[in-house]
Amino acid sequence: MKNIKIIEVKSEIGAGTRGASLGVDAIKIAALDFMSNFFVHFPTEEIETENKLLFEPIESPYAKRIKGTINMYERVSKSVCDTVKANWFPVVLSGDHSTAGATIAGLKLARPKAKLGVIWIDAHADLHTPFTTPSGNMHGMPLAASIAEDNIENKVHEVDDNTVKLWGALKNIGKIAPKVLPEDIVFISLRDYEKEEDHLIRKYGMKVITTNEVRRKGAEAVARSVFRYLHDCEYIYVSFDVDSLDASISRGTGTPVSNGLREREAEDLISKFMQHRKICCFEITEVNPTLDRENLMAEIAFNILQRSVNVLMMN
């Protein structure tokens, strides 16, 4: 039975829409509404945030609040690394997706010589850099930071020296770069991304599994194909952004997109992933109850969380 530890990251400095910092507590309220004592069973660590920066002027327009993001990377990566080294399984509940790069950093720091795979269940590729970003929001950049990519060949901005330096520091957290190889990333339900990100996906031949493919083949067949693809990775991280779900049910997130997964499809797929011995960390992110009705998004996230953890404990 796996020893599970919950890591709460109530940070939203990487998002463009306010409210994701409330997502973790919204998931906890969903558990209470379902009369579940889920959160009583596991040790929990809450990471100190930099959300105070939301009230301060933005210094780097192409990497908003990047100094705070670096601080978050340091804290989250240390927590994840320490958790793994203590033989616990980290379940990360985060506000915005920017800190997923810190989760990846922590996993790599815990086992620097092992090959890490990433299953990225998300409507977005999150492969932007300060040189290509359309928004400057850091939650669009965690995978680019993790693969240590600048994407200079698709540069659309002249980025100031200080931002370039801070971006370099972010990529090199833990003094390991890249943390994961681009060919060891699998995107699921990816459907809303820019040509600059598409360039990287094509350049590195990154694997993309569409919503329609999940629907056509079913959870078990998709899970088998993912693990075949990542067969030479020694351990695998699953990151679930709730905007991978269809916009009809994912109102409670900052960037909903149509043609996404249904709740049961996501739940079945993640449960299949959790049965595999190589899975080393699970993260749920981008629940924003301020955009929601009756806490529906958090309730869906909690159902997926609870079933996933149950499967983990049985395996």
Interval 96-115 mean pLDDT: 98
Q: How far is CA 165 from CA 106, 130, 143, 171, in A?
A: 21, 11, 18, 10
Per DSSP, the three-state class of 201 is: helix
The token duo for 270 is 């993640």
Judge whether residue 303 has pLDDT over 70.
yes
**What is the per-residue pLDDT for 108?**
98
The pLDDT, as a whole number, for residue 2 is 72
pLDDT in tens, 150-160: 999 999 999 99
How many whole angstroms separate alpha carbon 58 and alpha carbon 270? Answer: 37
CA angle 244/136/169 to nearest 5° reads 100
pLDDT digits (tens, 9 = 90+) for 43-63: 999 999 999 999 999 999 999
pTM beyond 0.85, yes or no: yes
Is the pLDDT confidence value at 1 over 70? Answer: no
Tell me the C-alpha distance between 297 and 191, whole Å: 20
Q: What percent of the chain has pLDDT over 90?
A: 98
* Predicted local confidence at residue 222, as pLDDT: 98
| CA dist., res. 241 & res. 123, Å (int) | 8
pLDDT higher than threshold 80 for residue 42:
yes
d(CA 57, CA 260): 35
Is residue 77 predicted with pLDDT exceeding 90? yes
Lowest mean pLDDT among 109-123, 200-214, 249-263: 249-263
